[in-house]
Amino acid sequence: MLNIQEPHAQDNEAVGAFSEHAFFQLAFRSSFILGAIASILAMIMWLGFLNAWWQLNPTGLTPTVWHLHEMLFGFGATIATGFVLTAVQTWTGRPSIQGAPLIALVGLWLIIRALFFVNSTASVILATVLQSIWWICIIAVYAYIVLLAKNRRNYLFIPLFTVIALLEMVLLVSELTIDTAQALHIGRTMVLMFGILMGIVGGRVIPFFTRNGAKLKEVSHPPLLDPLLLVVSLLGTLVFFSHFYISLPLSPVYLMIAAGCLHLAKLGFWQSNKTLGISLLWSLHLAYGALGIGLILLGTSYFTPLIPFSSGLHVITVGAMGLMILSMMSRVSLGHTGRVLIPKVIMGKVFLLLFLVAVTRALLPAIGLAHLAWQVSAVGWIIAFAIFVWVYFPILIAPRQDSLR
């Protein structure tokens, strides 16, 4: 007798096999690859706009807001949430999202990105609604895991992600109601929010990675620096955001400079000189240092036209956010797939390239070469993340080498 399965049974088996694919085992795999590709495509679109090769759809987000939104959310938020939804499994010992639910979340994300790339009024409105649903899913999954585990140390990401999600919604609604100035201001506030997120995550993992990777007895900083830095950073971000709407006696200038100095003070305790031969370490130290320098430049830009505000902003977005994400993706992609934490030699060159891109983007506008800075930084970013995808795509779609999830 022939063994003939019903068609729907075969379909169910195919769906089951797809949901079991390594790419959907944990959130970092899909978020790293898709976030990196999204940033490459967004930067190509931006480069083409800068050179008048094509125009973005004028009925949706304005070009600058579109660029800002896609780099902060299509790239930054995608990878940050993927990392946190992966790390929470380690923090709590409880399983995180994977399989069919993760496929649904990835599918929703792909629809959202396509709608933002279309960039018509209707597509942006629909994308905004779907993006809010995406955020609700992300925050609900994370909150469920940490609250069930009573992992109080990591409750902080619940309000942090909630604020980031709300700011994105306000940014999009502002732009849709033709208030581009407010949308840009919220975007800049978002950079400061991401700075807080990088400060929290980087402040925890960089000393730990440094101690283990460089085989040091102890890598730490005075405990008082953490709460002090968090308060100064939150207050600085709140004051910067509020100044757009009301006049306050407190200026964000000195708070930004103070936060930058505190970041550099923390970095000074982490024995950066011991990491020079280890690309997965010195790149993180360099990125964390760029966060401190970028905040100082933002504050200093209020005093002199020689330092444009956008220069400090891009030291943070490219030198800190871009480099930290690139380095963390390289490390996590190896560690969470059961591989030795030794990246290909080319990745060290890519880390250095992205840091030089940040320096170029910050310095050239000060000498009247802003357009060249935009061109060089866009091309450098595209090259850096294209190499990441080329190196890590085969790793991220393959099963763990030790056969563990």
Residue 185 counted as domain residue: no
**Structurally, how many domains does the chain consist of?**
2
Residue 107 counted as domain residue: yes
Q: Which of these three, 130, 145, 178, is where a domain ends?
A: 178
Residue 123: give the domain boundaries: 24-178
CA 385 to CA 390: how far, in whole Å? 9
Residue 187 counted as domain residue: no
* Same domain? 280 vs 167: no
Tokens of 258: 């103070």
* Same domain? 146 vs 231: no
282 contact partners, CB below 8 Å, separation of at least 6: 272, 275, 276, 351
Residue 106 counted as domain residue: yes
CA 172 to CA 313: how far, in whole Å? 20
* Same domain? 288 vs 240: yes
327 contact partners, CB below 8 Å, separation of at least 6: 280, 283, 284, 287, 351
Please calculate the CA angle 355-356-359 and round it to the nearest 5 degrees: 95
Task: Give me the helix-helix angle, 323-335 and 345-363, nearest 10°.
Answer: 160
* Same domain? 266 vs 325: yes
* Same domain? 72 vs 168: yes
Residue 61 counted as domain residue: yes
* Same domain? 45 vs 168: yes
* Same domain? 214 vs 295: yes
- The pTM score is 0.91
224 contact partners, CB below 8 Å, separation of at least 6: none
CA 249 to CA 313: how far, in whole Å? 24
Q: Which of these three, 147, 178, 209, is where a domain ends?
A: 178
* Same domain? 130 vs 239: no
Residue 48 counted as domain residue: yes
* Same domain? 155 vs 209: no
Q: Which of these three, 146, 178, 210, is where a domain ends?
A: 178
* Same domain? 174 vs 42: yes
Residue 291 counted as domain residue: yes
Residue 405 counted as domain residue: no
CA 374 to CA 169: how far, in whole Å? 27
* Same domain? 166 vs 276: no
How does pLDDT run along the chain (405 residues), one tens digit per residue? 444 455 555 555 555 666 788 888 889 999 999 999 999 999 999 999 999 899 888 889 999 999 999 999 999 999 999 999 999 999 999 999 989 999 999 999 999 999 999 999 999 999 999 999 999 999 999 999 999 999 998 999 999 999 999 999 999 999 988 789 999 999 999 999 999 999 999 998 999 999 999 999 899 999 999 999 999 999 999 999 999 998 888 889 999 999 999 999 999 999 999 999 999 999 999 999 999 999 999 999 999 888 899 999 999 999 999 999 999 999 999 998 989 999 999 999 999 999 999 999 999 988 888 889 999 999 999 999 999 999 999 999 998 887 444
* Same domain? 48 vs 145: yes
